[in-house]
Amino acid sequence: MKDIEQYLRENAPETPDEGQFLIETNARLDSVEGIKETVDGEHRRWRKVLVITLVAGLVLGCLLTLLAVFCPVQTDASTFTKTIEALKGGKEVLMGFVACCAIGLGILSMTKKREAF
């Protein structure tokens, strides 16, 4: 900010009232600094949310993996085969539902991204 003031003083732009011009310029520079601080604050919040989400996902994934290892579900082959056969008939519907959920989540996250916390 000092460099701009020095540049303006050295080049002496032609204005009707130099004092008023510098006051207005400083006010505009201060408002730009305020916007920059706000944007930097939003970036810090997004980074915090990203780190918290990453840690929560890792912890939850580890806990569920440990649960699956130490408490396996006992199934027989006929139950597994019936489940596979049931999924074969409706896999298009299931995949369509998963795709719609993914698209909806993507749209929701993009609209929420613009909102402040």
What is the tens place of the pLDDT at every residue in 55-101? Answer: 898 889 888 888 878 877 666 667 777 777 777 777 777 778 888 88
CA–CA gap between residue 3 and residue 10 (Å, rounded): 10
**What is the band of 117 on the pLDDT scale with cuts at 50, 70, 90?**
very low
In the chain, what percentage of residues exceed pLDDT 70? 80
pLDDT at 30: 82
User: What is the pLDDT, as a whole number, of residue 14?
Assistant: 65
**How far is Cα 70 from Cα 22, in angstroms, rounded to an integer?**
72
Average pLDDT over residues 25-37: 84
Nearest-angstrom CA–CA distance, 78 and 83: 9
Please give the pLDDT value at position 114: 60
Q: Retrieve residue 16's tokens.
A: 């009707």
Q: Reduce the DSSP state of residue 17 to 3 states and report it.
A: coil
The per-residue pLDDT for 73 is: 67
- Give residue 54's pLDDT: 86
* CA distances to 14, 19, 31, 33, 116 from 39, in Å: 34, 31, 12, 10, 10
Q: Which residue has the higher pLDDT, 30 or 87?
A: 30
The structure tokens 């032609």 sit at 14
